[in-house]
Chains A and B, each alone.
Chain A
Amino acid sequence: MYDVILPLKLFKSNKLTILAVAAVAVCVFIVIVVMTVMNGLTVDFIDKNHDFFSDCIISTDSLVGFGHYDEFITSLRSSDFVESATPVINTFGLVKSDSSGKNAALSLMGIALDSHTKTTNFAQSLYYRKEKPLLAFAPSYNPELPGCVIGVDLLVERDSWGNYQQWTILPRWSYGITCFPLTPKGTLVKTGTSISANTRTFYYSDNSNSGLAKIDSTVVYLPFEQLQSMTGMNIGPKRAGAIFIKFKKGADFNKSVEKTTALWKDFVGLKSDSEVADLFKTVNVQDFKSYRRESIAPMEKERAMLLLLFLLVGLITVFIIFVIFYMIVGGKSRDIGILKSIGASQFGIMRVFLRYAVLTGLVGAAVGIAGALVFLDNINSLEDWLYVKFGFQMWNREIYAIGDIPSRPGFALPIEVAAAAVIACLLGAMLPTIKAARQNCVDILRVNQI
């Protein structure tokens, strides 16, 4: 029982405890705040990719695309694990603003609004047609005109708070968009001896804010069939560049990807005698994370590096606790001698100091977690205040597509960090505790007695 009471008494009375608790609390605070922010940014980025690309993507890097996509989408829709699927064309084109005369080579994305809005979160990315996404390509000032949706960062400025300065009324802007059509064999379509180019005028009908900076600053969305004809993908068997697939709720994600892959293989086998069968060779079936690995992998690597850094923070905590407990045990050697003289065992002494360490870890973790939660709860207001007062921003909102700084640590992170703090305290206290337990009580208590 003494090994329950004494740790509490030592914890309450020893001033060095405050140092140990503070050391643990600071480490816990730092880990929770940084992990919450960094994790939040990574998870947010992955979620935005998921919103944009849906669950699974069948795609080719070739600008020629692949054929028979519509038949495969029909077979996918009849399967038990697919909620919806939509064809997509990814290509490049020259976009010339009729009002400014400026032009740029941009990515063009052909989407079929009815299936695309069912498969992805495209509707939520719109500004003017959020409520009526099927009219996204119909300019509000004249729905009969051919419309285009433009990536928000291509058109709209952001203020220093990160808010887009949208026009209240949709401006009547038109763009000449030029594509170079390709045959199924990958050659440019020619008219006589000159290269054929398709130029059509589209009117600005909306902008899309996907939250993915690279996409929002380079992509112009066009109606699927129009882009298909402009790129020559309607010549021969109609072609698409990708199929985005959304799985049904509750369907096992990995198994659904495997099933899609198997279905695709079967489909390619069935179409082996098609005149565009060669185009299937460049087609891959991937989940959205694999498809976007070039963007997601660096962030996940950063997160892994961060975990490594926090392992070092953990080691520093262990060392700090070791030093503090070494001092505590040194100051308590007389008490250890007394306890041994009245029959306390080595393990009993160890229990006293290890429980003291656990208590230090628990209280330190509780203080650190409480501090981190309060700080995170106010991190955005704090940043706003710093910006108003001193002009400081953690991320320049004119450059980075970050709304609020992530401030929700979730339930698991504080528990994991608290457990790690307690383990760090146990490890740090272990050596001093063993030393305490092995002390010879005669050596401790002998005062001028030899």
Chain B
Amino acid sequence: MIENNYILTCRDIFKSYRMGAVHLEVLKGIDLNVEKGEFVAVKGASGSGKSTLLHILGALDKPDKGSVFFQGKNISAFSGRKINEFRNKKIGFVFQFYHLLDELTVLQNVLIAPMVQSGTIGWLLHSAKAKKAASRLLGELGLTARAEHRPYQLSGGERQRVAIARALINEPDVILADEPTGNLDSGTGNDILKIFEKLHSAGQTIVMVTHDDRIAEKASKIIKLADGVIAPA
């Protein structure tokens, strides 16, 4: 446990992958602090380790060396159950390719996040509240009319808004977004970016990976990754 005001901190993060005979050192000693309410853009060329860093920050992946602290607590030391709870309650992920479940409706895709950490009885007790919150979010994101549609019936921008609603439903402390506009046309990408700006202005902490300078300019802090290290500003 470390005492500071940062919501997310990483210290001396190393990560490498083995791709057949090739050993790829993706992150080579990353130090990063994210303050509460900050909008951090992580920039870098393809293969610079942006997504890997995001996955490590969200406890989807483990670093080979170094530690990640969330509100001062070392998440590398979390048990499996606590990590699952952390991913569900503290972090909201938004992916480039939306990653919605095709079998579920829009509303169910949003509700799946609170469902994951509820037992059957817990869900029966709290589902009304969750459904109300999901409907409100879908309304704010302009998706009320799409609530009962399936993902394949939506446009790319609509799917990404559903993914954002799913990320927000559990009121996470941090939103981790991995090139959320990367798969969208510029107009729709701008709409999505506006949503993130609005969230940021409402006090939401956001860490967004992007290689688009135009998008990075909207962030309150820009971190540039190059060759596995943070490049000097």
Contact = CB atoms under 8 A, between A and B. Distances in A.
Contacts of B17: 450
B7 interface: no
A88 to B, nearest CB: 67
A9 to B, nearest CB: 4
Contact of B80 (A346, A449, A450): A346
A348 interface: yes
B220 to A, nearest CB: 24
Interface stretch (A19-27, A138-146, A336-344): A336-344
Given A10-B103, A334-B99, A450-B17, A344 B47 contact: no
B116 A342 contact: yes
Interface in A129-165: none
Nearest to A343: B88
B57 to A, nearest CB: 12
A343 B89 contact: yes
Contacts of B173: none
Interface in B34-73: 46-47, 49-52, 55, 58, 60-61
A341 B52 contact: no
B115 interface: yes
A1 interface: yes
Range of interface residues on B (Cβ < 8 Å): 35 or more
B101 interface: yes
A112 B132 CA distance: 87
B104 interface: yes
A335 B84 CA distance: 16
A2 B178 contact: no
Given A4-B120, A9-B103, A342 B93 contact: yes
A12 B102 CA distance: 12
A297 interface: no
Nearest to B109: A338
A212 interface: no
B118 interface: yes
A301 interface: no
Given A335-B101, A441-B60, A343 B26 contact: no
Contacts of A343: 84-89, 113, 116-117
Contacts of A348: 116
B116 A2 contact: yes
B178 A449 contact: yes
A13 interface: yes
Contacts of B122: 1
B30 interface: no
5 contacts: A1-B115, A1-B123, A335-B101, A345-B84, A449-B51
Interface of A: 1-2, 4-6, 9-10, 12-13, 334-335, 337-346, 348, 440-442, 445-450
Interface of B: 17, 24, 26, 46-47, 49-52, 55, 58, 60-61, 80-81, 84-89, 93, 95-97, 99-104, 108, 112-113, 115-120, 122-123, 127, 166, 178
